[in-house]
Structure 1
């Protein structure tokens, strides 16, 4: 009996891969493996649990137990469409440490574990990714990063209709696809997305867009504040961390946080002291680098709708 681990992202493609593997290897030990950013759309969780139930396959969920915004506050660095630290730390590193080194992360939970056919599901396992021909640029790096595991990407070598596979099990596709997103990650808030992606989020889910925009404003100001040499050296206490952490964790806004959000249009050109290099700190940190979400909200029609982007998890871990 062989081991098969399917990197289960909550997308339609990874579901098709799971069905493919179960069809080809019905008597083998198959595990759905989901690394949770704790920042996903509610309907993604509906989908993965329903998928595990109907496929009758065990699902292992691993997580650091923190969200991308919490990670940004911890690192004092804003992940963006050029550097996806959240993908590296919360997905790639978690899975690599677990599967290669046996390091169990902060959160580990099973669903349908009774379908597991052998407790050791890692030894000599083949791991699978829902990468199709349109993402073949990811194939080489993923295979390299996951050595010595054998890596398979059935959607590159086989013509599989994702919608037909969902219909086979009577499962409704995740709602983000209905909202014209190209993937089902992070509730449409992927920090490596482009202007067209965020424009779609603004149109389809304005509440989530505004929440993300406020997080961008607060985290940006906090990073500039925390980069001051006196703060970095510990000579001056970090008076913002507690309020910022509470905000990105619960959404609760202290008077300090509310002031940052309300006055942003006036403070974005302020100079926030000196960095450890002695340079003025005045940069506004954004997810898209070239334009903030606040700018995009004010000038939505002028954005590049072909600039979609996406995290491309497991692409550049090493």
Structure 2
């Protein structure tokens, strides 16, 4: 077909994201509404009910209304037929994803009708952006168009798959402006709320004094820039004072201030409010002081700042291929705190929680598991390269062995136990089991006494036979446990791993 005398029609291919929307608006500004059209291809969800991308359809309607043109939504049944020059069932080797090629093929019939029935020559505009735009941390540009396909493959498809090649244009690649903040323009100049998939990402390190989370925070800032990151600390008011020193030094080293959130109550006050003493199976303190405060903060951030949080946790490496092993869930398993299986439990539990409990799912990332090398020594790097002393909870047994020549502490160190397994709540974590409290009694007897007295106050106040620890299915108080350790020897309990799942406090 000879198209030399055909009038051009400019068509923006929208995919539900910000970059194609920006390209569409500029196209219409340049060529006028009468010479422009909008096509929406939804290649990123099977259904409008998909919770991840449902709001992209609303976003597209808002963009079309702002531009002043209707949207042609590509429809038609998916075909099993594949053109192997572009797509095959192996996602890693496909030039185009199957869902992308299916929608592109449906456009071809529309383009043919434009030429034959309207005597117009179509020119397609895509929202692919230059790499420099995605690399600019200050604008934090992430968009679903990034996964549409590379420019050369899209260009090739519309050259080869139709009788007469169709011209394709990529304005954000041909005219690179790496400082162009498209999300800010759409949200603040156009006045359109971005869908969740397109909001500016804020990377948040869940931080409360752990070495793993400290290194993850450093990695996060290096990857995404301080302007896109937060250090987030929910203070239980039971934190060890040396944790706060450590956190301040990490904050200064990274160059990122700590965002501290307070409920205002201690764990003990939470127990009184709920008339329920936290124990190794259920801890309202972590729910109220950590989880609830975190969710409130994140939802307010979404509502007020129109951003999308991504949470980072400092859980240590594990064997990735064992992530779904069913044996991890057997109650009979005794799982050591620092074992690969315990790390599997932690990561899976956190990810599941943040997928289901917030109003909208929140993405969680575990760089020490998923991104960084398996043999990375976060504690060693922090101590010897950064020059920051670890929180004393990690080294309390070692310090007591060296400074006081304490025989029990020496035996702990000989077994590779230099201190506590995590640095939260000053050692008074109610989710700790026998080994944890035996360690606390051996290293910091004053803190053990505080917890014992707290437990006794609660029992007396509510006249309940309850306890933090359980034995033979019944209450077993810290006072009883202390008396048994004094009679039998604390070593009986020091080296048997606890069969408990740590509370959310230990995740950071």
TM-score normalised by the chain length of structure 1: 0.71
Q: Distance in 1 between matches of 2:268 and 2:497?
A: 23
Q: Distance in 2 between matches of 1:27 and 1:35?
A: 20
Counterpart in the other structure of 1:123: 307
**Secondary structure of 2:259 counterpart:** strand
Compared with structure 1, are the counterparts of its residues 314 and 213 closer, same or farther at alpha carbon in structure 2 (3 Å cutoff)?
closer
Q: Verify the 8 A CA contact 1:37 1:186 in the aligned structure 2.
A: yes
Matches within 5 A, 1:51-70: 51-70=250-269
Counterpart in the other structure of 2:188: none
* RMSD (CA atoms): 2.4
**Secondary structure of 1:124 counterpart:** strand
The alignment status of 1:146 with 2:349, answered yes or no, reads no
Q: Verify the 8 A CA contact 2:302 2:308 in the aligned structure 1.
A: no
**Secondary structure of 1:61 counterpart:** strand
Q: Verify the 8 A CA contact 1:10 1:184 in the aligned structure 2.
A: yes
Counterpart in the other structure of 2:387: 170
Report the CA distance between 1:144 and its aligned residue.
2.5
TM-superposition CA deviations, 1:179-237 (whole Å, max 9, x none):
2100001000100001111111111111111111011111112122xxxxxxxxxxxxx
TM-superposition CA deviations, 1:37-77 (whole Å, max 9, x none):
01110101111111111110121000111110111112111
Q: Verify the 8 A CA contact 2:424 2:505 in the aligned structure 1.
A: no
**Secondary structure of 2:469 counterpart:** coil
TM-superposition CA deviations, 1:161-193 (whole Å, max 9, x none):
112330322110000000210000100010000
Listed as ranges, the gaps of 5+ residues in structure 1 are 105-118, 225-282
Q: Verify the 8 A CA contact 1:128 1:152 in the aligned structure 2.
A: yes
The alignment status of 1:36 with 2:230, answered yes or no, reads no
Counterpart in the other structure of 2:482: 297
Report the CA distance between 1:314 and its aligned residue.
7.3
Q: Verify the 8 A CA contact 1:142 1:315 in the aligned structure 2.
A: no
Q: Verify the 8 A CA contact 2:298 2:309 in the aligned structure 1.
A: no
Q: Distance in 2 between matches of 1:219 and 1:72?
A: 8
Compared with structure 1, are the counterparts of its residues 211 and 66 closer, same or farther at alpha carbon in structure 2 (3 Å cutoff)?
same
**Secondary structure of 1:48 counterpart:** helix
Matches within 5 A, 1:16-35: 16-26=215-225, 28-35=227-234
Compared with structure 1, are the counterparts of its residues 189 and 315 closer, same or farther at alpha carbon in structure 2 (3 Å cutoff)?
closer
Matches within 5 A, 1:27-106: 28-102=227-301
Q: Distance in 2 between matches of 1:219 and 1:305?
A: 29
Q: Verify the 8 A CA contact 2:423 2:506 in the aligned structure 1.
A: no
Counterpart in the other structure of 2:50: none
Report the CA distance between 1:295 and its aligned residue.
1.3
Q: Distance in 2 between matches of 1:174 and 1:305?
A: 23
Counterpart in the other structure of 1:285: 466
Listed as ranges, the gaps of 5+ residues in structure 2 are 1-138, 141-201, 319-339, 356-360, 397-418
Q: Distance in 2 between matches of 1:100 and 1:150?
A: 13
Matches within 5 A, 1:169-318: 169-179=386-396, 180-224=419-463, 284-290=465-471, 291-300=476-485, 301=489, 302-303=492-493, 305-308=495-498, 309=500, 311-313=502-504
**Secondary structure of 1:289 counterpart:** strand
Q: Distance in 2 between matches of 1:303 and 1:95?
A: 35
TM-superposition CA deviations, 1:54-110 (whole Å, max 9, x none):
110121000111110111112111000010111111100110111024599xxxxxx
TM-score normalised by the chain length of structure 2: 0.45
Q: Verify the 8 A CA contact 2:205 2:232 in the aligned structure 1.
A: yes
Q: Larger relative contact order (C-alpha < 8 A, sep ≥ 6)?
A: 1
Counterpart in the other structure of 1:271: none
- Quick check: which has more Rg, 1 or 2? 2
Q: Distance in 1 between matches of 2:461 and 2:208?
A: 31
Q: Verify the 8 A CA contact 1:8 1:14 in the aligned structure 2.
A: yes
Q: Verify the 8 A CA contact 1:216 1:286 in the aligned structure 2.
A: yes
Report the CA distance between 1:315 and its aligned residue.
9.9
